[in-house]
């Protein structure tokens, strides 16, 4: 086993260290080529170094361009800004890729296999917000603005079509609200149609208004293949799609830029169950699998996916969030056996 690819590893807060331990144990046993550079971020780093995102961590990320990251706690309403949002913007990680597949048998949906690709930097996440005073009430009106650029709309839709080509997918659905937000969402739709025309005959184009899409995803999720959309819609729809297949414990995500990738679980630090050894490590494990595919090790990625599918057939190996009683350690041990 040769470890030749340097990668930054951030265990994170709350359940982060528990699930990261599980993931690195399994990935190392699998023969993953990553040479882990352990760095810190989040509340743990803040308490230790006085900053939630130490310079050494940023240096490591710049050097490796490849990160496996546990969840980071963001203090609500005070303290430091979300590290996740900071990293996305600092490293131009413009595409958020969230695959959703049915792998737990006996759930509500049998044949879900879709990917939500969310624009990760612009839209309403620009958070240009302020209050306007009326009649002495300083907070009488809450005002918010967002922006989408032509360049970014083009780049994210192109990313989605290229993803479809590379992953042998047949259809890309552009999700928008251009009927109401004729300019903000309209630019995304028009730019998206232009890009789609270049892929005619190879990848089909479909268009959906976001509210109708939400309903259809609940009724007929198997009709969807690749979904591409702007930041806020993608945030909401990708949590919805995670819910179709067993919840946050089963949802991985990748933040991708031109030269960099940060791989993580969609869920947060789960402070309510931290330290109890009962967290589901599979979302982060799937993120690890995406990272393997990203560096061209589809062989290892597929073996890991296969092992996860195999153990989930056994009810006794499902964690509490999936209705079972298994511990994080039970899942780790079962995966170690399954990858042999």
- Interface contacts to Mg ion, rule CB under 5 A: 235
Choose, from 235, 305, 321, 330, the residue flagged as catalytic: 235
Q: Which residues bind ligand NAI (CB under 6 A)?
A: 15, 19, 71-74, 84, 248-249, 264, 267-273, 279-280, 283, 319, 321
Helix (H) / strand (E) containing 6: strand 5-10
Pair type for strands 252-256 and 226-229: unpaired
Is residue 177 annotated as a catalytic residue, yes or no? yes
Is residue 239 annotated as a catalytic residue, yes or no? no
Choose, from 177, 225, 305, 321, the residue flagged as catalytic: 177
- Give the residue at shortest CB distance from Mg ion: 235
- To ligand NAI, the closest distance from the beta carbon of 264 in angstroms equals 5
Task: Name which of 262, 240, 288 is nearest 96 in CA terms.
Answer: 262
Pair type for strands 66-69 and 95-101: unpaired
* Closer residue to ligand NAI (CB): 172 or 274: 274
* Closer residue to ligand NAI (CB): 43 or 157: 43
72 binds, among Mg ion, ligand NAI, none (CB under 5 to 8 A by kind): ligand NAI
Is residue 224 annotated as a catalytic residue, yes or no? no
Is residue 47 annotated as a catalytic residue, yes or no? no
Helix axes 328-338, 16-30, angle to 10 degrees: 10
- To Mg ion, the closest distance from the beta carbon of 235 in angstroms equals 4
Tokens 């009683």, residue located: 325
Which residues lie below 8 Å from residue 284, measured CB to CB, with a gap of 6+? 19, 20, 22, 23, 68, 70, 252, 264, 265
The tokens for 98 are 């969230």
Note the helical H segments in 36-82. 43-49, 55-64
- To Mg ion, the closest distance from the beta carbon of 239 in angstroms equals 6
235 binds, among ligand NAI, Mg ion, none (CB under 5 to 8 A by kind): Mg ion
Q: What does residue 296 show for φ and ψ, rounded to 5 degrees? A: 90, 10
- To ligand NAI, the closest distance from the beta carbon of 86 in angstroms equals 11
- Residues with catalytic roles: 125, 177, 211, 235
């Amino acid at each position: 086993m040769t470890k030749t690819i340097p990668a930054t590893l951030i265990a994170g807060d709350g359940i982060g260290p528990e699930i990261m331990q599980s993931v690195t144990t399994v990935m190392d046993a699998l023969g993953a080529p990553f040479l882990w550079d352990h760095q810190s971020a989040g509340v743990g780093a803040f308490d230790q170094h006085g900053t939630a995102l130490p310079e050494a961590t940023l240096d490591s990320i710049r050097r490796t361009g490849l990160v496996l990251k546990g969840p980071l706690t963001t203090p609500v309403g005070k303290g430091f800004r979300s590290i996740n949002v900071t990293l996305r913007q600092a490293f131009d990680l413009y595409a958020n890729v969230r695959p959703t597949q049915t792998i737990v048998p006996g759930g509500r949906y049998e044949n879900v296999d879709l990917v939500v690709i969310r624009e990760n930097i612009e839209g309403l996440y620009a958070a240009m917000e302020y209050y306007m005073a009326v009649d002495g009430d300083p907070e009488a009106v809450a005002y918010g603005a967002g922006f989408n650029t032509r360049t970014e709309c083009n780049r994210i839709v192109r990313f989605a079509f290229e993803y479809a080509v590379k992953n042998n997918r047949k259809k890309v659905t552009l999700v928008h609200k251009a009927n109401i937000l004729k300019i903000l969402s309209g630019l995304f739709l028009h730019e998206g149609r232009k890009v789609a025309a270049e892929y005619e005959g190879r990848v089909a184009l479909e268009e959906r208004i976001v509210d109708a899409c939400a309903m259809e995803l609940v009724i007929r999720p198997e009709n969807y293949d690749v979904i591409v959309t702007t930041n806020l819609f993608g945030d909401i729809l990708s949590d919805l799609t995670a819910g179709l297949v067993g919840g946050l414990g089963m949802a991985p995500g990748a933040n991708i830029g031109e030269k960099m990738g940060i791989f993580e679980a969609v869920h947060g630090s789960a402070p309510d169950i931290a330290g109890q050894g009962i967290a589901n490590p599979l979302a982060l494990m799937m993120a690890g699998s995406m990272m393997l595919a990203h560096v061209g090790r589809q062989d290892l990625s597929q073996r890991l996916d296969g092992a996860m599918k195999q153990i989930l057939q056994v009810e006794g190996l499902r964690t509490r969030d999936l209705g079972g009683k298994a511990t994080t350690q039970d899942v780790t041990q079962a995966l170690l056996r399954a990858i042999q």
